[in-house]
Homo-oligomer: A and B are copies of this chain.
């Protein structure tokens, strides 16, 4: 049968990263292309204990249908977190549990986007977000991302040139792929522009708790007095990604629409997953675990960056990130980026070509994304050395 695919999906391809991971899935390949959290950052014993207790005392809770908004005790914990720790919750706001932060993008897109509507994105931006927006037929308008956040003049111009743009998508902390952190002044400027133009901001903060240097900067949502900002969080890096738990804090009216969409997508997030996060937030030592995560990521980030300085210092430029999972390297002029990626792959190191993160994937890029959370420390050492050899022999 000749399927008549929808306009949003007809030209949408699977994530390049996913394809790279398939091709380079051999066990000997060093996985700098992935974005998996470090397994030793998972609170395995805590989760084991929580799951054991749940099935011992309340198996029917774990197995029966739940409500779409989320398991009520978890929603209460998340509201407390948003109020007390992140300061992102106003009296007009609510929280719902989502199946990862990815689902927040999907719910918001479905609630706001008509085919052809504009979404303003940092450029480069997270490919899972770009593909989500594309799937709704969005026109993606990129705003160049600098070391301290979006170029504000370019953002203003994008808003002027695209009246009726539906939302601005940003990862202010340790952006994927660029590793950059948006400074406080730019957060204010982004908020003020969004308010002036009447455009929603999707503030995606999956990496906020992985800061390994510098000082925390208040979320854009902390400035929100108009219900403009949709704040999205994830437990993929704090607890574990395989349980698929995220959340969204937003104005209740908008949240009601997103909840209706969630009902049509997956009815609710699995109760076991929600219970793990609820119990962990309620009974376990959040600060101690975050400190542990930070120490793991600090070690791995510095290991990779020190080695890049040593092995690739003549061949790449980059800004050492203050957190997150990625190092975004600009190749020197003598390299053709895609050729470099292929040579790296042939030498046993998988890295992601920078064009994967552009609004127009066909545009050219001088960048590659390196991940330091998935490989072992030995893998980091070996992989960067191989990249150094590839560069020297280029």
Contacts and interface: CB of A to CB of B under 8 A. Distances in A.
Interface stretch (A103-111, A145-153, A177-185, A352-360): A103-111
A202 to B, nearest CB: 13
A112 B257 CA distance: 22
A68 interface: yes
Contacts of A131: 260, 263-264
A264 B3 contact: no
Interface residues of A, number: 86
A214 interface: no
Interface stretch (A215-223, A238-246, A281-289, A383-391): A238-246
Interface stretch (A44-52, A303-311, A364-372): A44-52
Contacts of A236: 65
Contacts of A270: 99, 242-244, 270, 272-273
A387 B24 CA distance: 63
A257 B10 CA distance: 8
Contact of A166 (B4, B103, B257): B4
- Copy number in the complex reads 2
A128 interface: yes
B55 A111 contact: no
A346 interface: no
B266 A244 contact: yes
B44 A110 contact: no
Nearest to A44: B59
B111 A1 contact: no
A271 to B, nearest CB: 4
A257 B11 CA distance: 10
Contact of A263 (B15, B65, B241): B15
A55 B46 CA distance: 11
Interface stretch (A75-83, A248-256, A293-301, A335-343): A248-256
Contacts of A241: 63-65, 267
A302 interface: no
A247 to B, nearest CB: 14
Which of A8, A66, A242, A265 neighbours the largest number of chain B CB atoms within 10 Å of its CB?
A: A242
B242 A65 contact: yes
A363 interface: no
B244 A268 contact: yes
Given A63-B239, A106-B266, A242-B272, 14 more contacts: A3-B251, A4-B166, A6-B113, A9-B260, A13-B260, A18-B263, A51-B55, A62-B242, A62-B243, A135-B261, A243-B270, A243-B271, A265-B266, A270-B270
